[in-house]
Structure 1
């Protein structure tokens, strides 16, 4: 194992100058190349095999992977976590890797399957077995592909067939889907179930569930077995590790969300994930205890778990139900809580609702928030000797009481949400930016930065620059700050898409720059702010162009909106919107307008309020206020609005598994609503009250 150019992290990360231009790198239509000012140079020769070794060697007996055990008598999870140590994980990965090697050698994974460089599928929610499988693949130079647990049959079959998976580790809930689709995934010859085996049928001559599934699998030429049997087989046939000779070898395929078609398979190399874990460990170097609930099919969760693994930390997996996430956190008491804006928005809304609730409790919380926000804005400090003990101790207890670091990714987070949670949790909370194609590692805020709204400078060792987007009105000569498409280059950048040279060449240029498709600006301190998307222009009937996702993001910052979809059509002269209110913020808002006392839990009452023209008009007026505050152009305002309490969802077909809006599908599904909105006269947004 060799680590190169691995510096000590700075004792204090600079805030006045966070990224610096590389002299002599400016060229026509492009900014200079920018690098992290504190740690401009950083590379690693580690593979993911080495990443596990670094964490294990810190303390082989340290708790590593944990779950809440299920109590069949209580029919509920225990209020404790059971842990596998690093040493136990080492034993299990060797067993699983050995078993798969034996099955491949015997031809049970298909004819001519080599010992190395073939693909194992993982179709499951977050659980320890995923990490064991990932480490087994690294130890024996194989690949993994992870599927979102929420995938529909068509997408799951496509990913397994496209990635050439030879086996699938999954739960019994997905086995019927796999067997019914066996002819479409002919390379899959082994299905490994992770569930506890079901009891055999009690009546003579009857077959239990597992026996029926086994017979069905055999009829399809598929071997159906269990995790326990794979581990047992491997322990009886142990084989020495054959790790990659270079971190340039493949470790995984990570499929993009597929907002506009079939998901693309980004090739993930060992060096990308290893770099992501090592580079971020310069910011967070001590062993963390992290809660795992973000999908492991997403690169964001993958790099977080690589970071925690390398630091010798602990990963506690949630119970599988996002509605019980706070309960899981209270049991686990994590020190590290990663998330996405939709999770943090919900937590912040609950805090704000309590502050707005009136009474002595509400007034005290409001005073505490205001005092801590004022201190944060002046000094960046997020602690307060009095209020932390009297007021915020109970707020911190919602996430277990021991959270020290939070990080938000996947989508822009509202600065006010980030600030409220910083002071309410007395924690280091930062925003980062990355994509599947650069292993989620491009930008990250420096610790202690009190100026919110940017994603910070490039992470150590990474490079960014901007290029002109004249068609959108952004250039690198803009004042006060250069603006343009963000280009990303460094060890985290992928080599291309599997079986898609055309898309690879569109995304990567000959100098190794990755075209992110996101528009940013670089401020005077070297921080990058995401302001738009390159390919999201729509043309209205009168000829105006609207960067729809950018404007949508502005209106989505309304505290009243949990979700918002902005729509425009080239045959229409104005935009319309469909919004899902946030129950915590919407309940007091609607109560004041309707005169009826509504609670956040009264979804039926809130849905009725969504149909009240006065409520809709007031909600639209709030959006107009948000738009004016952000200097939105007149033709970019929605002129008609529909409210509904039913969220956009994966099941409805309007969201991808990564919770990104599938715009073409949403247009089809919501066609009747769109037609109804355009049948109304456009609202006059010049009026102070709509």
Structure 2
């Protein structure tokens, strides 16, 4: 998923003559300001950030806890805070007049005509297409007092509609300020159900039907999707939407689904609540706060039950690790879907800290999709930001594309600056002078104030993490899953290292359990095994799925993650594999598919990739969705006259060029011979969730991809035999 592209780069800066200061490092350092990244990794290794609290058991290692709370796991971030309702009220009390969240208003849509080139039957033709862009206002803000007032209005409105404590409201919408409506449910002890807005009809129906939702909050443009499944959702009584809905769409929904009592705009719901105030009904810690539907790679999505106490424990754990790094002036960009547990947790963590959230949209995050205004990220200028690896990969490739399009001199200056800053950070030396000379123009593309960024949701390659930590801001890794409320390990700034996910968060304890078939044992050096975790932030189970609950949670409360971990010498954790994605090749060696994909995805030709290993073959192969612009540039460099993209993907010269780049990436990343690809198939079509090839969270549906491309995989494996 390509989210961020860079419209401008520091080319003018890079074209400056090299500063003589670069050649006199020692004297310059005396006056330079320090960078915010404490990346002296040697120093970080000298302290252990977790401690053993038990001895090793049979086929498992000792239990480890955070050094910040070795005697017990933490469950509450502050006295009297036991639910997400309490989190908001805590911040109203302490930070009432501070800005809680900001949002932008749509001023108008700007339409532009563009000429595009299209290849039809091998002939290049020119077409005129109309493109729509957003013109947005600046940010408007609600204080914490105003946000609490709005939440209570929403809760009162839902109660006036007839909803009761324990009733469920589904969020089926993109992230935007009106999604701050979910705390309104907590003012009346109602439960939120989250589902990705990319799930489609089948996924939406499953989540609504299984949880028997009474109300749904959605976007106006998703009302037609809702209309296709509403007849099968007999418990649905209330539809609340944001944005501008076409009257005929609303009327059709009313006419075809008479069991729906109310179809109202978000603002109308607030008005109903304002005119019918009521006392809040406080939830309890053991009440269900949220049922979060995961976008599984197989079968129907599973509803993970998250209690108020689970989410509050997660907030307590992360707060214990990071509170000293957060200031009252910090701001956080909120743009990931709330169906993503990382976004849900971080938003509520931000509320507890009393910092300001800035709501944005993937569609308007950068300048590329807006006109007569700046994109959300440059307009809001966050100091903190979360993202998934696809976001960071997109940033990295955008930067490199601009650099590679520059003159050899510019490229050399950039490379020298990058290597110099990397060395300085490793030694704990100041780097502000390099930012001023080279990197500040890149930093401006994310607002110019970003202090730290957190990556989660999937592994980020060490190469991408290092590149962005040097050029933009420190990229910290976290590790967790929906079942653990997002974070069970987290790299605090003082732990910074590439390729690691950090120490256990103080709300959980972790142990590694043997996976003998793959050679992962807790007794190995370093200790390795499947990650098991336990603590207050762990789900009690899956909604109406006792069978999966029994498979995933042990009787004594351990969550079996399916991820393979490795303890580092400083008590931090690395995730090195996924249990179900281990493949044993014919030579007896195991390869980790997700690990290889994170490495090969850093190749500039790769938009998406699925690595495949056959137990009857000695080497892996790969299916690649290439970056079209890079393929066309390669064709031009090779003197190919072919214009049809599909045919270019099948061209042996192109395939050879991509393979050479992938192999170079493998060598650069230090992959073993058995991990180096022996063949690749380039597919000209993007993989999407609508095709059934990606989950709603944009993760690979490996089984479906392999089935769709079975013929191509078989052909590549057959070539290994000759």
What is the TM-score normalised by the length of structure 1? 0.86
**Which structure would you say has the larger RCO, counting Cα contacts within 8 Å and 6 or more residues apart?**
2
* Distance of 1:451 and 1:587 partners within structure 2: 37
**Deviations, residues 264-314 of structure 1 (Å, cap 9, x unaligned):** 111001122222223323314324311112111010110110111111122
Alignment of 1:154-303 (within 5 A): 154-196=202-244, 198=246, 208-218=248-258, 220-244=259-283, 246-282=284-320, 283=322, 284-287=325-328, 288-303=330-345
- Give the 3-state SS of the residue equivalent to 2:446 in structure 1: coil
Q: CA shift at 1:125, angstroms?
A: 0.3
Distance verdict in 2 for CA 1:320–1:409, change over 3 Å: closer
Seen in structure 2, the aligned counterparts of structure 1 residues 631 and 447 have a Cα distance that, compared at 3 Å, is: closer
Counterpart secondary structure, 2:532? strand
Tell me, what secondary structure is at the counterpart of 1:315?
strand
* 1:389 Cα offset (Å): 1.6
Q: Secondary structure at the match of 2:279?
A: coil
Q: In the superposition, relative to structure 1, how do residues 584 and 420 fare at CA in structure 2: closer, same or farther (>3 Å)?
A: farther
CA deviations over 1:82-111 (Å, ceiling 9, x no partner):
22222222121111111211222xxxx6xx
What's the CA shift for 1:162? 0.9
Structure-1 residue corresponding to 2:130 = none
Contact 1:463–1:488 (Cα < 8 Å) also in 2: yes
The within-5 A match list for 1:122-137 is 122-132=171-181, 134-137=182-185
Question: Aligned partners of 1:662 and 1:404: how far apart in 2?
Answer: 34
User: For residue 681 of structure 2, what is the aligned residue in structure 1?
Assistant: 642
Matched with 1:121 is 170
Q: Distance in 2 between matches of 1:525 and 1:56?
A: 39
* Secondary structure in structure 1 of the residue aligned to 2:511: strand
Any stretches of 5+ residues in structure 1 without a counterpart? 1-11, 110-114, 201-207, 598-602, 685-690
How far apart are residue 488 of structure 1 and its match?
A: 1.0
Query: Which runs of 5 or more structure 2 residues have no equivalent in the other structure?
Result: 1-39, 111-132, 369-374
Deviations 1:414-442 (A, max 9, x none): 112112211212x3321110001000111
2:662 to 613, 618, 623: 623
Q: Does structure 2 conserve the Cα–Cα contact (< 8 Å) formed by 1:54 and 1:312?
A: no
Aligned to 1:488, the other structure's residue is in SS state strand
- 1:370 partner SS: helix
1:363-414 deviations in Å (ceiling 9; x for gaps) = 33222212111111222x5x52322122222111101111111010111111
1:120, 1:144 within 8 Å by CA — same for their partners in 2? yes
8 Å CA contact 1:64, 1:83 repeated in 2: yes
Residue of structure 2 equivalent to 1:458: 504
Q: 1:683 to 1:363 in 2, by over 3 A?
A: farther
Report Cα offsets for 1:515-534 as digits up to 9, x if no partner: 01000110111111111111
Map 1:309-348 onto structure 2 (within 5 A): 309-321=351-363, 324=366, 327-348=375-396
| Alignment check: 8 A CA contact 1:377 1:450 kept | no
Distance change in 2, residues 1:574/1:314 (3 Å): same
**CA distance in structure 2 between the aligned counterparts of 1:673 and 1:571, rounded to whole angstroms:** 16
Report the CA distance between 1:257 and its aligned residue.
Answer: 1.5
Aligned counterpart, 2:104: 68
Question: Residues 345 and 508 (structure 1 numbering): CA distance in 2 closer, same or farther, change over 3 Å?
Answer: same
Distance in 1 separating the partners of 2:589 and 2:466: 36
Cα drift, residue 572 of structure 1: 6.3
Q: Deviations over 1:443-488 (max 9, x none)?
A: 1113144531111111123211101000111111112x01100011
Question: Would the alpha carbon gap of residues 541 and 33 (structure 1) be closer, same or farther in structure 2, given more than 3 Å must change?
Answer: closer
Write the mapping of 1:433-452 to structure 2, written as runs, cut at 5 A: 433-452=479-498
| Structure 1 residue 550, shift from structure 2 partner | 4.2
Q: 1:527 — aligned with what?
A: 572
Count how many residue pairs are aligned between Structure 1 and Structure 2: 642
Specify whether residues 69 and 48 from structure 1 end up closer, same or farther in structure 2 by C-alpha distance, changes over 3 A only: same
Correspondent of 1:476 among 498, 522, 541? 522
The reply to whether residue 364 of structure 1 matches residue 422 of structure 2 is no
RMSD between superposed Cα atoms in Å? 2.9
Give the superposition deviation at 1:157: 0.4
1:398 partner SS: helix
- State whether residues 355 and 366 of structure 1, in contact with CA within 8 Å, keep that contact through their aligned partners in structure 2: no
Equivalent position SS for 2:541: coil
Pair 1:498 & 2:543 matched: yes
Shift in Å at residue 677 of structure 1?
Answer: 3.6
Question: For residues 578 and 101 of structure 1, what CA distance do their matches in structure 2 show?
Answer: 52
Distance 2:544 2:233 in 1: 17
Matched, 1:614 2:656: no
Q: Which of 450, 457, 469 is 1:410 aligned to?
A: 457
TM-score, length-scaled by structure 2: 0.82
1:308 maps onto 2:350 in alignment: yes
CA distance in 2, matches of 1:90, 1:24: 44
Residue pair 1:341, 1:412 contacting (<8 A) in 2 also: yes
Task: Give the counterpart of 1:92 among 125, 128, 150.
Answer: 150
